[in-house]
């Protein structure tokens, strides 16, 4: 479940316009007449790769009693209390009014975090009003133009910490739920692939890397439009086919590049449809042009895939144009190891999508990495590893007291996710957690897939159950 953002402010500052902009639809009625919005309206919104629930509220007005305006204000106040973060919107062209000042005081008293934004700043207009908004005491006001879509990069930056915190909280809750659910994930049960469900594969990369050509080569037909022009593919296109008796759903995607304004400032990936394909996929094939390997954008794409927890294969196209294959491969491996240690051991497949030479190596690697992504490690083996690893290199002492790692268990796969229990879990440094992840990857051959490691501050949660089994 995404976090919730409530847009608040006095009437006619552009709240509904911004709401419509972020949900991508004209769901809220917009008019210059103040007070058009009377009830709260919710929608699913996104900026680049951040997804959240947005709430459009009635304009804040200082009203008392049982009049309509007072009831509207109560609804807005309820929305504020239910939100994870509030966006106070002011009209930069109109300047700061007594109503803005009054409601900024109200918002400073609530526990909900508040972001201040000055709307109607298109083309630098309203800069004087934006600077005036500093006096509200809610931090630096973000310059926005809800009507023209300007300033969304700054809003992305402001929302990103909340998105990351919410994702972390959800991940921690998932671990807790898994530990409490006796009927859930069983790390001792061997992985058995579901042959009835299609294997979902997304092919992503920079524009003109040869993604559509690769998909056509795999399908054995000219299913996707191709050509020398960059950006021919506009939408994510899913095609089902069969490989060695196994159903596969291939997604050809638009080239991922930095978008002007938002992504130039953020250095974030654009092409929302392609990003949705990554989230939908189980395996992501990152296609790289061998003639211009590993540009900064390739690293951004790889990092995104790792953050989403997807299995990864690096596919190097146009290998027939490489004059020194051995040296180029060594260079690729060195850059992967140095720049992307979080996916150490990721398989690299080289081929020519145009001629088809080497393409047959891709699907076996995809199937292999899919098995690793679904890996299950028996609890007994995991704790034997933990004992040996922590004895060989114990966690650093904290305040002169040793930190003991008591118990480990796998709580889920896809990607492999582990919980390690310690009475002083919060004192385990990040560097040691990286050491444990690398040791896990090496010991259990978890190459090329993201690994999630959660430290938990309690004793072995299954000790009591084990005792009961012994007594029984």
- Residue-wise pLDDT for 223-245, tens only, equals 543 444 444 333 445 688 888 88
Residue 399 burial class via C-beta count within 10 angstroms: exposed 0-12, middle 13-18, buried 19 and up: exposed
pLDDT score recorded for residue 125: 76
Q: Which of 373, 393, 416 is the last residue of a domain?
A: 373
- State the pLDDT at residue 226: 41
Using the 3D structure, point to which of 327, 350, 373 is the last residue of a domain. Answer: 373
* pLDDT-based confidence at residue 75 (cuts at 50, 70, 90): low
Number of domains in the chain: 3
Domain range spanning residue 407?
178-188+376-471
Regarding whether 326 and 224 lie in a shared domain, the answer is: yes
- Residue 171 within a domain: no
Res. 463 pLDDT band, cuts 50 70 90: very low
What confidence score (pLDDT) does residue 85 get?
93
Q: Examine the domain organization and report whether 230 and 93 are in the same domain.
A: no
Q: Does the pLDDT value for residue 323 go beyond 50?
A: yes
Residue 116 has pLDDT above 90, yes or no: yes
Contact in structure between 349 and 358 (CB atoms under 8 Å): yes
Residue 166 lies in a domain: no
Q: Return the pLDDT at 300.
A: 76
- Percentage above 90 pLDDT, the chain: 33
Residues 230 and 366 in one domain: yes
Q: Using one digit for the tens of pLDDT, what is the confidence trace for 366-410?
A: 999 999 999 999 989 999 999 999 999 999 887 778 888 888 989
pTM above the 0.75 mark?
Answer: no
In a domain, 419, yes or no: yes
**296 or 368, greater pLDDT:** 368
For residues 204-215, average pLDDT: 83
Which residues are bridge partners to 247 per DSSP? 242
Identify the residue with better confidence: 102 or 350: 350
Residue 97 lies in a domain: yes
154, part of any domain? no
| Residue 161, in any domain of the structure | no
Distant-in-sequence contacts of 267-276, Cβ < 8 A, 24+ apart: 267/300, 268/48, 268/49, 268/156, 268/300, 269/48, 269/49, 269/297, 269/300, 269/301, 269/304, 270/48, 272/46, 272/48, 273/235, 273/236, 274/202, 274/204, 274/236, 275/48, 275/49, 275/304, 276/236
**427, pLDDT greater than 60:** yes
Q: What's phi and psi for 20, nearest 5 deg?
A: -60, -40
Provide the pLDDT for residue 180.
59
What does the mean pLDDT of the chain come to?
Answer: 79
pLDDT attached to residue 277: 73
Q: What does the alpha-carbon distance between residue 219 and residue 237 come to, in Å, rounded to a whole number?
A: 13
User: Rounded to the nearest 10 degrees, what angle do helices 430-443 and 379-392 cross at?
Assistant: 130
Q: Which residue has the higher pLDDT, 230 or 427?
A: 427
Residue 310 lies in a domain: yes
Q: Give the pairing of strands 41-47 and 4-8.
A: unpaired
What percentage of the chain carries pLDDT values higher than 70? 77
CB 233 within 8 A of CB 122: no
């Amino acid at each position: 479940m995404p976090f919730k953002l409530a847009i608040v402010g006095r009437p006619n500052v552009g709240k509904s316009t911004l709401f419509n902009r972020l949900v991508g639809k004209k769901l809220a009625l917009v008019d210059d007449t103040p007070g058009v919005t009377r009830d709260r309206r919710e929608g699913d919104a996104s900026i680049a790769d951040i997804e959240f629930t947005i709430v459009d509220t009635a304009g804040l007005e200082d009203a008392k009693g049982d009049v309509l305006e007072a009831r509207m204000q109560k609804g807005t106040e309820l929305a504020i209390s239910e939100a994870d973060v509030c966006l106070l919107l002011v009209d930069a062209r109109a300047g700061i009014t007594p109503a803005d000042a009054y409601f900024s005081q109200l918002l400073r008293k609530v526990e909900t975090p508040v972001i201040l934004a000055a709307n109607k700043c298109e083309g630098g207009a309203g800069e004087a009003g934006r600077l005036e908004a500093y006096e509200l005491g809610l931090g630096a006001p973000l310059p926005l133009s809800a009507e023209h879509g300007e300033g969304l990069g700054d809003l992305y930056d402001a929302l990103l910490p909340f998105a990351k915190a919410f994702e972390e909280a959800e991940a921690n809750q998932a671990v807790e739920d898994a530990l409490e659910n006796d009927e859930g994930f069983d790390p001792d049960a061997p992985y058995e692939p579901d042959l009835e469900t299609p294997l979902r594969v997304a092919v992503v990369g920079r524009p003109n890397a040869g993604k559509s050509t690769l998909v056509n080569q795999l399908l054995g037909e000219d299913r996707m439009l191709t050509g020398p022009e960059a950006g021919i593919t506009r939408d994510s296109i899913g095609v089902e086919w069969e490989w060695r008796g196994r159903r596969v759903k291939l997604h050809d995607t638009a080239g991922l590049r930095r978008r002007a304004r938002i992504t130039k400032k953020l250095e974030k990936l654009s092409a929302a449809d392609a990003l949705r394909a990554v989230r939908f996929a189980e395996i992501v094939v990152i296609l790289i042009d061998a003639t211009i390997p590993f540009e900064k954008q390739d690293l951004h794409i790889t990092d995104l895939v790792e953050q989403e927890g997807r299995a990864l294969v690096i596919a190097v196209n146009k290998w027939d144009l490489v004059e020194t294959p051995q040296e180029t491969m060594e260079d690729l491996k060195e850059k992967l190891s140095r720049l992307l240690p979080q996916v150490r051991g990721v398989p690299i497949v080289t081929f020519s999508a145009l001629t088809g030479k080497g393409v047959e190596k891709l699907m076996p690697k995809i199937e292999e990495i899919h098995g690793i992504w679904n890996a299950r490690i028996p609890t007994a083996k995991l704790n034997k590893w933990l004992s040996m690893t922590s004895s060989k290199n114990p966690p650093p002492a904290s305040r002169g007291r040793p930190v003991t790692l008591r118990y480990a268990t796998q709580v889920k796969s896809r990607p492999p996710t582990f919980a390690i229990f310690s009475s002083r879990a919060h004192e385990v440094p990040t560097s040691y957690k990286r050491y444990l992840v690398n040791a896990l990857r090496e010991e259990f051959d978890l190459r090329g897939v993201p690994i999630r490691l959660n430290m938990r501050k309690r004793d072995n949660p299954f000790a009591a159950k084990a005792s009961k089994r012994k007594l029984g």
